[in-house]
Amino acid sequence: MPTSRPVAALEGALDVPAVVPGAVCHRGVTYVAREGYRPLLMDVHVPLGATAAPCVLWIHGGAWWSGDRREQPSNWRRPGVLFSLLVEAGLAVATVDYRLSREAAWPAQYEDVAEALRFLRAHADLLRVDPARVAAAGDSAGGHLAAMLALRGTGPTAVQAAALLYAVTDLRDFDVSATLSPEELLASPEGLLMGVLPDDDPDRWTDASPISHVHADAPPTLLITGDTDLVVPARQSVRMHEALVAAGAEDVVLDLVPGADHCFGGVDEEEPLRRTVAFLADRLRR
C-alpha cells in the first residue's frame, strides 16, 4: 500500500526558498512512497497571500520514459514560463514526478498521478489550495495522463478542468507504428509503457487510451496542439475533440496552433501557453 508523508514531516519540507516569482514554493515534498520504488516528489507553487488558491496539477511529458517535475520543454525560451504564468493568473501549480516506463509498466503512471491528487486534497489546508477547484494539465505523455485523470477520476481523484497540450489520446494512432517490427514497437515509447504488443493484448492498449473513455460528464477540457506536430499527430487532438462532443461533453475547446510542431516548436510558445492558462483560470473560477 502507498504511504504519504506525515503532515509533521511535510511542514518541515515547506520552508524552502521561492523559485517561481510571486509564489511560496514548496519543493521536494514526498507525496507517495511505495516499497521497492523511489519516493515520488511534487513541488507546489502557491501565489503569495493565497489562502485557498485554485490549483493545477501539472504532469510533465517525455514519452513516459524521461523528464521530471522541474522540467519544461527545452525549446521554451523563458525558464519556468508556464509555472510563472499560472501563478501570475492567481493559480497554484503542483508539478509531480511519476514512475517512468523503465521503472514500471502501465498503469503505474496513472496510479501515481491519481495518488498525487489525493495527497493535494488531503493537505489542501496546509498547502493553501482549494480542494474543490483542481485541474489536470500536461504535455505530450503528460497530457495523456492528464486526460486519463479527467475522464476516469472520481471522488478525490476527480478534476474540475483539464488542459491537454499536444497530448497522446490514442496509443495506437501513430504514423510510424505501421513501419516498425514487433521488436521495434515493443521498444518504442508506447511499447515500453504497455509492456506488451498491441496485437497480443488489444484490450490493454485500448483501455490505456483516453479516447476510449470519453463521456458526457467530462470536465471542461482544452485540447491545444500544433497543426504540424511531427511527434504526436494533430489528428489525435482533433479526434479526441470530436469524440468528446459526440459523447455529449458540454465544454470542449480545440485550439490548433498554426505552424507549430511538437512542444509548440517553430512559434512563440508563450502565446498558446497564455491561452492555456486563461482557459484554466476561467474554468476554475466558475
Measured distance CA(137)–CA(161) in Å, rounded: 8
- The answer to whether the Cα torsion of 136, 137, 142, 148 is positive or negative is positive
Burial of 172 (0-12, 13-18, 19+ CB in 10 A): middle
CB 272 within 8 A of CB 164: no
Catalytic residue check, 140 = yes
Catalytic residue check, 123 = no
Taking each helix axis from N to C end, the angle separating 270-284 and 81-88, rounded to the nearest 10 degrees, works out to 40
| Catalytic, out of 140, 144, 237, 241 | 140
CB 97 within 8 A of CB 69: yes
**How many other CB atoms are there within 10 angstroms of residue 261's CB atom?**
18
Provide the terminal-to-terminal Cα distance of the chain, rounded to the nearest Å. 36
Measured distance CA(19)–CA(283) in Å, rounded: 26
**How many other CB atoms are there within 10 angstroms of residue 158's CB atom?**
16
Measured distance CA(140)–CA(168) in Å, rounded: 6
Q: List residues bridging with 164 in a β-sheet.
A: 138, 223
| Catalytic, out of 229, 237, 241, 261 | 229
Catalytic residue check, 66 = no
Q: Which residue has the cell 478525490?
A: 156
DSSP state of 42: E
| Catalytic, out of 26, 60, 241, 262 | 262
The residue among 115, 224, 107 whose CA lies nearest residue 171 is 107
Element (H, E) at 150: helix 141-152
Residues forming the active site: 140, 229, 262
